[in-house]
Structure formats: structure tokens, C-alpha cells
Amino acid sequence: MHMGRKIGSLILALALAASSVTGALAAASPAQGAYDRTAAFISKAVPAPEVSSIGGEWAVIGLARGGATRPQNYDADYLNRVEQTVKEKQGVLHTRKYTEYSRVILALSALGADAREVGGYDLTLPLGDFDKTAWQGINGPIWALIALDSRNYPVPWNPQAKTQATRQLYVDRILSRQLSDGSWSLSGEGPGDVDVTAMALQALSRYTDQAAVKLGVDRALVWLSGQQQGDGGFAAKGTANAESCAQVVVALECLGLPLTDSRFVKNGKSVLDKLLTYQLSDGSFCHDDSFDAYATMQALCALAAAVRQAGGKSAFFTMTDVQKMTHTPQSGVTAHTSRLAETPAFTDTKGIAAQQAIETLAAYGVLNGMTKTTFEPAANLTRAQFAKIVVGALNLTPEYRGTFKDVAQSAWYAPYVDTAAAYGIVNGVGDGKFEPNRNITRQEMAVIMAGYLAWKGIDTTPGTEASAYNIADLDDIAPWALKSVCFCYEKGLLSGRGTGFAPLANATRAEACVVLCGLNDFLRKTEG
């Protein structure tokens, strides 16, 4: 929201200043009444939101999340403009400033639209690139995390990324930039900034079950409380202003803390009380003492958050409560892919069940054919080879760590095995060994897949007893693999062979491709 203080265009500022609200709106509370007035103001001042910070997404988000009545076709027209913009830009909203993607994702999510299907492009894809997202500074990880969490989007696999992003990487990056006094700043150096600290709390609000996050949040709240002024307000760079108040309101709401929390009430005045003093008679807001377009947008969102909290609704940025929208674009949409190469033409995969999965992973460079024209789908895989495929499919950065005593640093597979182990994707076989050159079995592959899903926070407990799956060779499944096999079998991640599962049979190259593509589809449905 803050993303660095910006000045709206002269045209927008004039439009906002000239807009007025006629007639008083009924209000159930001070926050509701203030929100209704600001929403009415914005609806008139921004009748056709564009892909833009001030005259665009924040208006869409604030109006939608507060439940404001919008003009007819307001939402659909915005979606059409987004699709047009995305297609004109060929899916590239910005080459360096990835908060552009995060902001649009939030607006789409607020309307119930899927940010992964916009004019044939996946707008979440850039956020799978950790380095490019983090290049912008702390704003990048903060808003990437908020955007992805808004509708539980899976972190996309970005084949062009040097470092594949994960939610934990973003969480860790935010925590690593916290200053010694508990605050955050845009530069990463003191003094702390109220707005940035509040935004960091918004991003971390879903991760307080992690001890490090809980500690960081608690320290930040102590610092924020100490920054609150005697009238309930906050200042940025020495100037008391509406935007800082708005960010703190949203932060408290995202954390599930009442806006009347005693830590944030000074002399009987809450931060919401102070925010309301910045509202002008026409429903707009001032920065400190005069109308400001950006302050009005931020206040709209903060008031929407306050209204949602008072009504017992989900947090402002938790948009899973929004009914999914089926949107028909103005014109036909051509699908676009992000493949790095043309689909290989393997002569030995045509017509087999795994053909599509093989060609997909080969096109992304996750694994290669045995020759230019053959894939050998029935060939076995070693444990080391499977580790390499998994690391490639998840686009993790291979790094040797010296995890296993039978995995020499000079071995081609060493960084892949160690990286997969570091993420909990693969395990050793005991005695500090991995047995990299032994063929991987089907039950081992099931354990690896279930382990990765568990690492992602997904419950991998089977829905019923093992005996209910009618697996003829159930007794052949090792006790340590039984739960994982049943889960993968139940979810269709691994199919059986005949009437059984063949747990001790060697997994084939084709099966590995099917499993990894199925895993991606499962995550998309589960997290999205």
C-alpha cells in the first residue's frame, strides 16, 4: 500500500478534489459511517479504475473488501481493463518493480478473479522468482507474501528464477531485515518507519505459529506502541499523518487484535479515533492538513478493515471468503505459456499415458531424453536421479552441504541430493548414508512426495484405514511407507499396478514425470 510515498497525477487529484457526496449515509458505527462516505467519494472520483496504484487497485480493493455498493459493471469493466493491459504488455507489468504484480493480484483476488488466468497469463508467476522480487527491497517480499496468501495461491514454479521462491524464504527475508529495536525501514537501516513496520506485520500475521515470527511480531508491537502519540496518532519523518494511522489499523486487524487494544490507546484515544480526525467533509482524507489522494485510498482500506473486524469477518487481506468470479473477457483470449523450449518430439513416448507429463517436464528442462529422439520412459531411476528431477521441478538452488557420507562433493548429484534433503524432500537410509546409486522404489517415491507436501503444511493423513484401499499387495508395503503410500494412492498422485501397488518395484522415468506433474496440479487445487 505504501510502497514508497507517491504523488497522484494532477488529473486524478483534481477529480478527487472536485468530487462531492450528496446526502448523508446511514451508519451503524463511526467506522461504518466514515467508510460509507469515503466509499461514495471514491466511487464518483474513480469511476473507471485503471492498472494504477492510486486511481486503480487500491480503490478496487477498498471498495470490494468493505462491501461498498459499486456502480453497475464497475468490477467487470476493471477486469476487462486489466486483461487488456496484461495482453498489451505480454504479461510483463514491470521488469524490476514486482509490487506491481502483487497489487494487481490483490485487486483480482478481492473481486474473486483468479490471478493465474488473466488474458492467458499467470500474474503470480513472477513472484516465484525470489531474487527479482526481493530486488525492490523489503517491499517486494512483504507484498509478495500478502498477495500470495490473499487466496492461498501456491508459490508458482518459475523456471527462469535463479532462486525459486517459497513462502518461508519470504518470511525469513522479512525477519532478517528487522532492526534491533523491533521496527522495519525501507532501507534496512534505522530509524524505524511506522508504515513499513505495520506492513511487515500484515505480511507476517499468518505465520505467528512460528516461534521466530511470534517473537518478531511481539517486538514490533512494543516498538509501534512506543511510537504512538498522545492523541492516538502516528507520525512518519516527524509529521503526524493519516497514512501511518491507516497502516497500523490494518496491521492490528490482520493480527486479530482489537483496535481498542490497550497498547494502542493513549489518553483514551485509539488509532482509529485519530484516523477519523483526518476525514474531510466530503468523505476524502488529508495527509496532515490538506486533501491527499493517497491518504484517501489508504484510509478507505483501513476503514474497510475496521468495518470487517467489527462485523466478525475475515481479515482485510484474507480474501478466501470471496466467491470465485466467472469472468468473460471482451474478446477471445489466447493462452500463453512460459516454456523455455519447444516441446521435444520423442519417438518412444507417443500415445503412452505419460506423454503429456514427459513432454511438459522436458520442455522446462527438468529432465532430458536419453537421446534427442528417445526418452526411455520405462527405464529405472536411481535415488540420485530422482533427487535431481525433484530439485529441478521445484526450481530449488542446488547446494552441496555434506549431508551424507556416501555422497561425495565431486559427484554430479551431490548438490541435488543435499538440497532435497535440506527441504525435507528426501531422507537417508540410516547410518548417515543415502545410497544414491540404488534404484528408487515406488514406495520410496510415495514417501518423498508425501514428505514434501507435509513440509508445505498439508495434512498427509489418509482418509481411511489402509485395509479399505483394496490393494492386493498391501502387506508388502513397509510400515514406514504405509501412510504415505495410502495418501498418494488416495489422492491419485501414484496409481497402482494391476490390482496392487507394487511398492518394491523400481519407479520408472515415466512414473516420475506423472508424479511431479500430478503434484503440481494437487498443490494448485489444494492451495488455490
For 81-99, how does the pLDDT look when each residue is reduced to its tens digit (9 = 90+)? 999 999 999 999 988 889 9
Is 430 found in the same domain as 486? yes
Do 301 and 449 sit in the same domain of this protein?
no
Residue 87 placed within a domain: yes
**pLDDT-derived band of residue 336, with 50, 70 and 90 as boundaries?**
very low
pLDDT of residue 434 exceeding 80 = yes
Are 509 and 389 within one domain?
yes
Here the cell at position 19 is: 468530487
CATH code of 268's domain: 1.50.10.20
- For 256, the grid coordinates are 486479530
In a domain, 19, yes or no: no
Residue 327 within a domain: no
Residue 99 backbone class (left: φ over 0; alpha: ψ -120 to 50; beta: rest): alpha
Q: In the structure, what pLDDT confidence band is assigned to residue 9 with cuts at 50, 70 and 90?
A: very low
One domain, residues 285 and 415:
no
Same domain, 362 and 511: yes
Residue 129 in this model has a pLDDT that exceeds 80: yes
- The whole-number average pLDDT for the span 335-352 is 59
pLDDT above 80 for 421: yes
Residue 332 pLDDT grade (very low, low, confident, very high; cuts 50, 70, 90): very low
**Span of 83-97, 262-276, 339-353, 398-412 with lowest mean pLDDT:** 339-353
* CA distance linking residue 170 with residue 162, whole number of Å: 15
| 302 and 359 together in one domain | no
Are residue 119 and residue 252 in the same domain, yes or no? yes
**Does residue 332 sit within a domain?**
no
**How much is the pLDDT for 68?**
95
Q: What is the pLDDT of residues 37-55, one digit of tens each?
A: 999 999 998 888 888 766 7
Cell numbers standing for residue 166: 517459497
pLDDT higher than threshold 50 for residue 321: yes
Angle at 252 between CA 249 and CA 258, to 5 degrees: 100
In a domain, 13, yes or no: no
- Mean pLDDT computed over every residue of the chain: 86
85 and 152 share a domain? yes
d(CA 476, CA 456): 28
Of 51, 151, 139, 55, the closest CA to residue 97 belongs to 139
Sorting pLDDT into bands at 50, 70 and 90, what band is 289? Answer: confident
pLDDT band, very low/low/confident/very high, at 527 (cuts 50, 70, 90)? low
493, pLDDT greater than 80: yes
For residue 102, give its domain range: 29-310
- The b-or-e profile of 253-277 (16+ CB within 10 A means b, else e) is bbbebebeeeebbbeebbbbbbbbe
Percent of the chain residues topping a pLDDT of 90: 54
pLDDT in tens, 355-386: 877 877 776 666 778 887 888 999 998 999 88
Query: Beta strands 265-266 and 239-240: pairing type?
Result: unpaired
DSSP code of 439?
B
345 pLDDT tier (thresholds 50, 70, 90)? low
Residue 491 has a pLDDT of: 85
Q: Are residues 81 and 226 in the same domain?
A: yes
Express each pLDDT in 218-268 by its tens digit: 999 999 999 999 999 999 988 999 999 999 999 999 999 999 999 999 999
The domain boundary, picked from 310, 337, 368, lies at: 310
Q: Are 383 and 426 in contact (CB under 8 A)?
A: yes
Single out the residue in 280, 310, 340 at which a domain terminates: 310
DSSP state of 468: G
Shared-domain flag, residues 297 and 371: no
> CA-to-CA distance for 386 and 380, rounded, in angstroms?
10
Q: What pLDDT is attached to residue 435? A: 93
Q: Name the grid cell of 16.
A: 478527487
For residue 338, the model assigns a pLDDT of: 35
One-letter amino acid for residue 78 of the chain: Y
Residue 462 in domain: yes
Nearest to 153 by CA among 456, 395, 483: 456
How confident is the model over 194-210, as pLDDT tens digits?
Answer: 999 999 999 999 999 99
What pLDDT sits at residue 341? 39
Q: Is residue 11 part of a domain?
A: no
Report which of 158, 149, 136, 154 is spatially closest to residue 91, judged by C-alpha positions: 158
Q: Please indicate, yes or no, if residue 389 is contained in any of the structural domains.
A: yes
- Verify that 302 and 397 share a domain, yes or no: no
Contacts of 353 (CB under 8 A, 6+ apart): 510, 514
- Name the pTM for this structure: 0.62
Q: Which of 289, 310, 331 is the last residue of a domain?
A: 310
Asked whether residue 191 falls in the same domain as residue 78, the answer is: yes
Number of domains forming the structure of the chain: 2
